[in-house]
Amino acid sequence: MKGEHRGHHHSGSRRQEFCGSGNDPCLGQEIGNVDEGTVEIFLPNSDAVTQQHGFFHGGAIATLADDAAAFAAYTMMEDGRQPLTVEFKINFLAPAEGPQLRAIGTVLRSGRSVAHSRADVFAQAEGGEVLVATALATIKATRAVVEKELETPQQANFAPEGFFRIPGYENYAIDKGGRIYSKKKKNGFLKPWTEKNNGYQRVELRDNPERREKPFVHDLVLRTFKGNRPNFEYVARHLNDDPEDNRVENLEWGSRRQNSKDSLQNKGQPALSDGEKSQIAKLYKSGNTQTEIANKFGVSQRTISRIISGIS
């Protein structure tokens, strides 16, 4: 495979680029040996990556395998390219437990635009390592995202202080909490609705009779305060995994892999006792907002909402 390498980077620089290109180890992954077409990644055991029976969660194993397969392909890509998984298949062969997992990513075939990789995941056992999963992935070489300078948001002169013009919509403004103000509405504020299938909020905007759109609120927040979507492959990330929390500090553009990691990582948030749930109800009745209570207890706003509603 080494004869097919078309890039000009040593393994050390590729390691640095991969870790700094949005693939930071948010589950605790640690990169081991890196060579052209082969990488090694470790995942230590923690509450964030295990399920109710103490085994490594299947989602964490799949993420580790995907990272190893993509990173291996990345070591053989041309300059200015980044890996994007377009096909992924994994077989779980045995329950995974022990102090850590070790994934070996290997490139099976590398072309100019597509690479095929394999990832084997091993768990440590008393008698040595046990193969717990194996995966095959097709990795596309995409153009690296070029960061564009963000234009300064413009205060809307027709809206209350703290509301800024939404790019592309001359009659609407938004604040950093995701509230939307209409120049044409009598009381100003628009009420979003929640999609039943995914929990995300939408709002209807009409700049003229011919233009009627129903964008996601999180997209409007990101476009206004953090710039347009870098490319079509990026999605909006709710960092606390709460689809109704559209505060600007809870939103980022990112890859689908990063979005999946957010969801998996948030499953490790602390469980609340009955006493804490009772305290939450009292705080809410005394006037504290759901966001303030969520920050106090280190959980998502959605968790607080479910407790107040009597669901949790």
Tokens of 36: 């052209």
In the predicted model, what is the mean pLDDT of residues 69-82?
86
User: Which of 99, 94, 92 has the alpha carbon at shortest distance from 46?
Assistant: 99
Which is it for the CA torsion 64, 69, 75, 79, positive or negative? Answer: negative
Helix (H) or strand (E) holding 237: strand 235-238
CB atoms within 10 A of CB 181: 22
DSSP state of 101: E
Q: With contact defined as beta carbons under 8 Å apart, do 175 and 162 qualify?
A: yes
Q: Which residues contact 88 (CB under 8 A, 6 or more apart)?
A: 62, 66, 69, 135, 136, 137, 138
Query: How far, CA to CA in Å, does 302 sit from each of 50, 184, 214, 247, 294?
Result: 22, 32, 23, 13, 8
pLDDT for the residue numbered 262: 65
- In whole angstroms, give the CA distance from residue 28 to residue 57: 14
Supply the pLDDT for residue 270: 59
pLDDT for the residue 60: 93
DSSP E strand stretches across 27-144: 30-35, 38-44, 81-92, 100-110, 114-125, 128-143
pLDDT at 21 over 60: no
Considering only residues 197 and 278, tell me which one the structure prediction assigns the higher pLDDT.
Answer: 278
Report pTM: 0.47
Higher pLDDT, 128 or 299: 128
Contact 85, 57 (CB under 8 A): no
Range scoring the smallest mean pLDDT among 45-49, 68-72, 77-81, 139-143: 77-81
CB atoms within 10 A of CB 142: 17
32 pLDDT exceeds 60? Answer: yes
Predicted pLDDT at 10: 42
- CA gap 277, 215 in Å, rounded: 35
Residue 103's contacts (CB-CB under 8 Å, 6 or more residues apart) are 40, 41, 42, 43, 64, 65, 67, 68, 119, 120, 121, 122
- Summarised one tens digit per residue, pLDDT across range 207-258 is 777 667 889 999 999 999 999 887 656 788 888 888 899 999 999 998 766 7
Q: Which residues pair with 78 in a beta bridge?
A: none
Closest C-alpha among 123, 94, 104, 92 to residue 37: 104
Say if CB 132 and CB 120 are below 8 A apart: no
**pLDDT score for 25:** 47
Return the pLDDT at 23. 44
Q: What is the CA radius of gyration of the chain?
A: 23
Q: CA-CA distance, 213 to 7, in Å (whole number)?
A: 44
What is the identity of the amino acid at 80? G
pLDDT at 147: 53
**pLDDT tens, position by position, 91-105:** 999 999 999 999 999
Alpha carbon distances (Å) from 172 to 149, 175, 207: 23, 11, 8
Q: Where are the beta strands (DSSP E) in 144-187?
A: 164-166, 169-174, 180-182
Distance of alpha carbon 291 from alpha carbon 174, whole angstroms: 19
Q: Residue 86: what pLDDT?
A: 95
Residues 136-193 pLDDT 10s:
999 999 876 555 566 789 999 999 999 999 998 889 999 999 999 999 888 899 999 9
pLDDT above 80 (res 42)? yes
**How distant is the alpha carbon of residue 247 from its chain centre?**
16
- Predicted local distance difference test score (pLDDT) of residue 168: 87
In the numeric block, which tokens belong to residue 179? 């509230």
**pLDDT attached to residue 265:** 60
pLDDT tens across 249-301, in order?
A: 999 998 766 766 666 566 655 566 778 888 888 998 898 888 788 778 777 66
